[in-house]
Structure 1
Amino acid sequence: MKILFLSISYIKTIEEKGIYTDLIRQFRDGGHQVYVVNPIEKRLNKPTQYVIENGVHFLRVRIGNITQNNLIEKGLSTLIIERQFLNAIKHHYREVVFDLIINSTPPITFEKVIRFVKKRDNAKSYLLLKDIFPQNAVDLNMFRKNGLIYKYFRMKEKRLYQISDYIGCMSQANVDYIKKHNPRISANKIEICPNSIDILSINNNDDSVKQIREKYNIPSDKTIFIYGGNLGKPQGIDFLIECLKGNNYIHQAFFVIAGAGTEFNKLKHYFDAEKPTNARLLEELPKDEYELLANSCDVGLIFLDHRFTIPNFPSRLLSYMQSSMPVLAATDVHTDIGQVIEQGKFGLWCESNNVEQFNKKINQFVDSTLRESMGKNAKTYLEQNYSSKHSYEIIMNHFK
């Protein structure tokens, strides 16, 4: 089949590791022709470009800035992405007839692009639902429910669900939420198609762990908890700071925070003012360097703001599992990530507004026997449930 893959994730190379690139390679290696449309943000100072890389066609469309900027610029840039992608496809892919369109959220504003290609090529479409917008923004008080902004994006969301032939959700809670809040959408086209990756064998030796810890001034005699990734409003950074403050008395625990986002400066202000002795804050690292750092730590952390009413399921979980690390998730009560972690026996969960419960979980992980057992379970659960081959087969099952 000829497959059109739409995403707002910037993909430097098809060989990099990630939930989208790993899935794209599955389609490529399965004998399909894959055409990717993804953005180049204005701040990178590059024009729209079309290249063929390792068997995959890339159309990188110059757009406005949607990351590392303020909400107004991000919002305006997001509004015009649909038109920019549509114009680029009409120009560069005008003679390509697609069989399948795969797109992910965010954004929910690709409905016209999908409608055009479906009508022109008689193609099917598969939506990878990674973000439930605009309700997530309402949960965080970014704008008012039933206001004009909400109504506009809710209309776009409904149209996207309606035009999609299949909707792949990250977990059962996501499936249940979409069915409940979108009763006009056929339940038969909604299924679980989870975040997934190519599973690698990671061998850590004592020398490499010692070396990377020394490089970042991380103690060798403590249990190291790491959070890596986006540091924005969805992560509930205020709660994270309260957890750091509340763990000063747990002398066997040390926290490493590495990432970037709109709330990074809030964290930096705390570190500069309080100079905590139980934690280290690092700016976003290159992917390979971050993986080395993460593999030298003991427990992976996941944070979600407790105000969420939509069931997020962060993909950060997968990198922890691949490193055979147990997971501590502090989240709202609507996501089922905590249930998955605890039922799979590879981690612990608490609500992200209870510092006392968080501290109790931290104390449990000081036990190296518990960490080792849960770490092994994490890798096993990953292999059985979250491989990119598994996601590929879920999608292709509709086209056999």
Structure 2
Amino acid sequence: MRLALIIDDYLPHSTRVGAKMFHELACYYVGLGYQVTVITPSETQEQQLTKTQLDGVNVWYFSSGVIKDTTKAKRAINETMLSFRAWRAISDEIQPETFDGIIYYSPSIFWGKLVEMIKLRCQCKAYLVLRDLFPQWAIDAGMINQGSVIEKYFRFFEGQSYRQADKIGLMSEKNRQVFNAATNNQYQSEILRNWAELKPHILTNVDESIRRKLNLEDKIIYFYGGNIGHAQDMSNLMRLARSMTDYEEAHFLFVGQGDEVNLINQLAEEWSLSNFTYLPSVNQHEFKNLLADIDVGLFSLSVKHTAHNFPGKLLGYMVQSIPILGSVNQGNDLLDVINDNQAGFISVNGEDEMLYQNALSLYHDELLRKDVGKNAFTLLESEFSVQSAAQAIIDNLKEKDESIQ
């Protein structure tokens, strides 16, 4: 089978979870003997299209404007141009037999036209991996006014993206319910969990140890890695760091990029936090080394969310058998999934005292950290494997024509 995977961020340049998930998916399909081509933007190249390979995956980079870590206006303009720039770069490469199926990832919401053009030429089906209900979360956060011209603009492209999908995969039942209600059940949808390859990373070089580099050998490291933005409500985790200042062995390490990097650094300075370190994004190898060298995996979701996300960063924690500590918006079924499987301690955002007490439980009990971490890996095996996600997607892409090989 010949597959096109479309995403706005990919390895080896990206540190984002979505890029890692898509590469693991691509590699799994390559292992099955499929021909896989990832179509993704490159912000630095001059040529319209460059082709390369990564772990047996064909990667087509098309020239794009900056869409990450830039102003909101510039990002909106350049993301709007994604489909146009991609099709301009690859249209001569696409023949009727080039692809048998398309898998595309949101965010971004701007892939609709590109998917439409490929489907039309190749007469194939498309599957949308929907991880982010934008612009709804931005409306919830007060960043976009409901009913505004900006909202209508984004809604147009959101709808265009959804219409190209023969099936839309959402990460939880609650998220699917919210999506179906918001879209009047007009799209075919199912639950598609986030996924990860079940291969823990081992830190083999002590010189690459973050504990050694930051002189944290005797510390219990509470780690946050990934997007540092409004949707995460990073002040929530900073308040936790402040509440733990009296516990000398506790240290909070945040690594990533996003709109709230300045905020967390300002709060750390304002509160004189000696138990906090921020580092900018690192490459995938360095990130895996970090995950192999920490004690507790942190995450946070804004209390303003009406959607019920399952942050991809949790998979990295689970692969490494790291206990999960975090908070979610009210009603998020992630709380029950993690707590019921004793894979971590999840509370509702705003319940600062409960988050603090959960952090203390993990601080005081090394055996508890190990047991909860083992449970996290067991949950990963049963619910979040790349194999199960890959099979669900392929089943949908093949449903229309079982003769496609």
Aligned residue runs from structure 1 range 302-381, under 5 A: 302-366=299-363, 367-381=365-379
TM-superposition CA deviations, 1:279-325 (whole Å, max 9, x none) = 22222223222222222211100111111111121100011001100
Q: Using the alignment, how far apart are the partners of 1:46 and 1:266 within structure 2?
A: 34
TM-superposition CA deviations, 1:60-84 (whole Å, max 9, x none) = 0111111111111111111111211
Matched, 1:4 2:4: yes
Letter in 2 for 1:133: F
Letter in 2 for 1:36: V
Letter in 1 for 2:377: K
Q: Using the alignment, how far apart are the partners of 2:293 and 2:359 within structure 1?
A: 18
Letter in 2 for 1:289: E
Question: What is residue 232 of structure 2 aligned with on the other side?
Answer: 235
From 388, 391, 395, the counterpart of 2:393: 395
Asked if the contact 1:234–1:305 (Cα under 8 Å) also holds between the matched residues in 2, the reply is yes
Aligned-residue offset at 1:96: 4.7
Q: Using the alignment, how far apart are the partners of 1:59 and 1:203 within structure 2?
A: 31
Question: What is residue 249 of structure 1 aligned with on the other side?
Answer: 246
Asked if the contact 1:308–1:334 (Cα under 8 Å) also holds between the matched residues in 2, the reply is no
Counting matched residue pairs gives 393
Aligned residue runs from structure 1 range 33-112, under 5 A: 33-41=35-43, 44-53=44-53, 54-94=55-95, 96-112=97-113
Normalising by structure 2, report the TM-score: 0.90
Matched, 1:263 2:226: no
Question: What is residue 26 of structure 2 aligned with on the other side?
Answer: 24
Question: What is residue 200 of structure 1 aligned with on the other side?
Answer: 199
Letter in 2 for 1:6: I
Asked if the contact 1:225–1:256 (Cα under 8 Å) also holds between the matched residues in 2, the reply is yes
Segment of structure 1 superposing worse, 141-150 or 245-254 = 245-254
Normalising by structure 1, report the TM-score: 0.91
Aligned residue runs from structure 1 range 114-263, under 5 A: 114-186=115-187, 189-203=188-202, 208=206, 211-220=209-218, 222-263=219-260
Moved over 6 A (4+): none
Aligned-residue offset at 1:46: 4.3
Aligned-residue offset at 1:119: 2.0
TM-superposition CA deviations, 1:77-131 (whole Å, max 9, x none) = 1111121122223133246532111101011222222222222221111110111
Aligned-residue offset at 1:18: 1.4
Q: Using the alignment, how far apart are the partners of 2:344 and 2:292 within structure 1?
A: 17
Q: Secondary structure at the match of 1:271?
A: helix
Segment of structure 1 superposing worse, 366-375 or 209-218 = 209-218
1:240–1:13 Cα change, 3 Å = closer
Q: Using the alignment, how far apart are the partners of 1:338 and 1:94 within structure 2?
A: 46
Q: Using the alignment, how far apart are the partners of 2:96 and 2:202 within structure 1?
A: 47
Letter in 1 for 2:23: T
Matched, 1:279 2:299: no
List runs of 5+ in structure 2 lacking aligned partners: none
Q: Using the alignment, how far apart are the partners of 1:130 and 1:387 within structure 2?
A: 16
Q: Secondary structure at the match of 1:392?
A: helix
Identity of aligned residues (%): 27
TM-superposition CA deviations, 1:208-262 (whole Å, max 9, x none) = 4995412112251x43211111111111122222222222233442211112222
Q: Secondary structure at the match of 2:273?
A: coil
Aligned-residue offset at 1:13: 7.9
Letter in 2 for 1:163: Q
List runs of 5+ in structure 1 lacking aligned partners: none
Q: Secondary structure at the match of 2:81?
A: helix
Letter in 1 for 2:231: P
1:98–1:72 Cα change, 3 Å = same
Q: Using the alignment, how far apart are the partners of 1:11 and 1:252 within structure 2?
A: 35
Segment of structure 1 superposing worse, 373-382 or 280-289 = 280-289
Q: Using the alignment, how far apart are the partners of 2:45 and 2:117 within structure 1?
A: 29
Asked if the contact 1:246–1:355 (Cα under 8 Å) also holds between the matched residues in 2, the reply is no
Q: Using the alignment, how far apart are the partners of 1:304 and 1:135 within structure 2?
A: 14
1:112–1:45 Cα change, 3 Å = closer
Letter in 1 for 2:11: I
CA RMSD, Structure 1 to Structure 2 (Å) = 2.3
Q: Secondary structure at the match of 2:198?
A: coil
Asked if the contact 2:96–2:121 (Cα under 8 Å) also holds between the matched residues in 1, the reply is no
TM-superposition CA deviations, 1:119-151 (whole Å, max 9, x none) = 222111111011111101111222111111212
1:292–1:97 Cα change, 3 Å = closer
Q: Using the alignment, how far apart are the partners of 1:109 and 1:153 within structure 2?
A: 9
1:389–1:204 Cα change, 3 Å = same
Q: Secondary structure at the match of 1:18?
A: helix
1:276–1:55 Cα change, 3 Å = closer
Q: Using the alignment, how far apart are the partners of 1:350 and 1:184 within structure 2?
A: 30
Asked if the contact 1:329–1:338 (Cα under 8 Å) also holds between the matched residues in 2, the reply is no
Letter in 1 for 2:228: L
Segment of structure 1 superposing worse, 177-186 or 343-352 = 177-186
Q: Using the alignment, how far apart are the partners of 1:141 and 1:125 within structure 2?
A: 32
